[in-house]
Amino acid sequence: MRVRRGVRSILVSLVTGAPCAGAPPKRTHRLQTSTQSSGGASTPVARPEFPVTRVGIGYDSHRFVTGRPLILGGVRVPHSQGLAGHSDADAVAHALTDAILGAAAAGNIGQLFPDTDPRWSGADSLKLLRAAYDVVRDRGYVLAQADLTIIAEQPKLGPYLASMADALAATLGIAAAEIGMKAKTNEGMGFIGRGEGIAVIAVATLEAR
Ligand code: MG
């Protein structure tokens, strides 16, 4: 039986423990240091030896109330109720913001935009998302992709998911194809099932620039 050289090398390596010939170098996150001049002073700057990928998770939930528009992912969704909140209560934008911040270990949305600060009263949450992403970019990361699930009993959100992905992508300067948007019910269970509110889960992947 013919075995490709690369495969044979791997098999030999597994059996003998010897280094695998032709194998790529093992990826590590060991940091190299160099110096960067700033105002005449040189300070050490840590640079990743290989591309670094980081993953963050975000969760948000809001209660339904009457008299407010329902804004999700920057899209106004027709419904008899909106979501309560200090800002526009866009739970999709909030969950994604926390996922991006979490991936960079840069805190959370409540720390950046406290709900006690009148500046964020009624705020467009896409602007908060963009501001949070600017913080993450300043730390040397860019968003590679994100995946979101909205959990709501009502309204049916399927017709609006593509528009949400477009709005989020435009806010973050990435292709809409890099944002996965899904919606599901909670099968009638719990506060979501009773129609009291909705929840959103988001995962984001960052890569070092
Ligand atoms: Mg929120």
CB-based contacts of 177, cutoff 8 Å, min separation 6: none
pLDDT digits over 136-187, tens only?
A: 999 999 999 999 999 999 999 999 999 999 999 999 999 999 999 999 999 9
* Segments of the chain scoring below 50 in pLDDT: 1-17, 20-40
> Measured in angstroms, how far is the CA atom of residue 32 from the centroid of ligand 1?
38
> Measured in angstroms, how far is the CA atom of residue 197 from the centroid of ligand 1?
12
Q: What secondary structure letter does DSSP report for 160?
A: G
- In the chain, where are the structural domains located? 5-48, 53-208
Query: Which of 115, 116, 97 has its CA nearest to residue 107?
Result: 97
> Measured in angstroms, how far is the CA atom of residue 90 from the centroid of ligand 1?
7
> Measured in angstroms, how far is the CA atom of residue 182 from the centroid of ligand 1?
18
Looking at CATH, the fold of the domain delimited by 53-208 is given as: 60s Ribosomal Protein L30; Chain: A; (3.30.1330)
> Measured in angstroms, how far is the CA atom of residue 88 from the centroid of ligand 1?
9
> Measured in angstroms, how far is the CA atom of residue 6 from the centroid of ligand 1?
51
> Measured in angstroms, how far is the CA atom of residue 100 from the centroid of ligand 1?
14
Predicted pLDDT at 170: 98
> Measured in angstroms, how far is the CA atom of residue 91 from the centroid of ligand 1?
5
> Measured in angstroms, how far is the CA atom of residue 55 from the centroid of ligand 1?
20
This prediction's pTM: 0.78
> Measured in angstroms, how far is the CA atom of residue 137 from the centroid of ligand 1?
22
> Measured in angstroms, how far is the CA atom of residue 48 from the centroid of ligand 1?
33
> Measured in angstroms, how far is the CA atom of residue 139 from the centroid of ligand 1?
24
Predicted pLDDT at 138: 96
> Measured in angstroms, how far is the CA atom of residue 62 from the centroid of ligand 1?
6
Query: Which of 69, 75, 79, 59 has its CA nearest to residue 170?
Result: 75
Predicted pLDDT at 30: 45
Predicted pLDDT at 12: 43
Predicted pLDDT at 209: 86
Query: Which of 31, 33, 58 has its CA nearest to residue 136?
Result: 58
